[in-house]
């Protein structure tokens, strides 16, 4: 005789994961790895990126080591909600370039039972918190900080030093424009940059 299972099925749980760090620390690579594992598990996955990020490809999200995954470029964070269907997992790359509504958008998705994985720079070129990243990190269930290697001394790098003399917050670039530095080397580089401007 079989006993009837009277246990109620729990609703699907959603949450927010943030992958943060400096440039060249492997944020996008880790985002792609997590999304690929979800695809292998048969989950429905979608990834979004800001429209302004066309460095490697206008559509795909591409890591510095050339791993790629198809994505949907959007102009505003609210556009993500307009393009959500039956997804189990939603990825967001280059989150620092999105508007301040991104944390609310991620909350809406997570509250619908979707696993949300967000990757972005936690600090801008001057070492200040970048865009919506502080709010995302505060609200997320999981935060992973990844590190690059300092291009000057070889220690762990957490800063993205801009090589050229520009004070614009958003300036797309690669190794020719930016280099990862540790705290000591970053402070020295900033001192030299400020001295050169005066």
Q: Which residues are catalytic?
A: 94
Tell me phi and psi for residue 97, to 5 degrees.
Answer: -85, -5
According to DSSP, residue 131 is labeled T
Tally the residues of the chain.
Answer: 198
Closest CA to 163 of 184, 146, 183, 186: 186
d(CA 46, CA 43): 10
Helix (H) or strand (E) holding 49: strand 45-50
Angle made by CA atoms 128, 131, 136, in degrees to the nearest 5: 105
The Cα 194–Cα 188 span in angstroms is 10
Residue 112 near residue 16, CB atoms below 8 Å: no
Rounded CA gap, 35 and 40, in Å? 9
């Amino acid at each position: 005789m079989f006993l009837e299972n009277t246990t109620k099925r729990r609703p699907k749980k959603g949450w927010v994961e943030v992958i943060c760090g400096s440039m060249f620390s492997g944020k996008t690579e880790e985002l792609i790895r997590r999304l690929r594992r979800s695809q292998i598990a048969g989950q429905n996955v979608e990834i979004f990126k800001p429209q302004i990020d066309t460095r490697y490809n206008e559509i795909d999200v591409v890591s510095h080591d050339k791993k790629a995954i198809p994505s949907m470029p959007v102009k505003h964070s609210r556009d993500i909600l307009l393009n959500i269907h039956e997804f189990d997992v939603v990825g967001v790359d280059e989150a620092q370039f999105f508007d301040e509504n991104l944390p609310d958008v991620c909350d809406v998705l997570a509250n619908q039972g979707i696993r949300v994985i967000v990757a972005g720079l936690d600090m801008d070129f001057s070492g200040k918190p970048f865009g919506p990243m502080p709010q995302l990190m505060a609200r997320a269930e999981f935060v992973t900080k990844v590190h690059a290697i300092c291009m000057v001394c070889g220690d762990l790098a957490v800063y993205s030093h801009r090589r050229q003399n520009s004070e614009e917050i958003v300036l797309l670039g690669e190794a020719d424009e930016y280099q990862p530095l540790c705290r000591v080397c970053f402070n020295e580089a900033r001192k030299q940059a400020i001295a050169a401007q005066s």
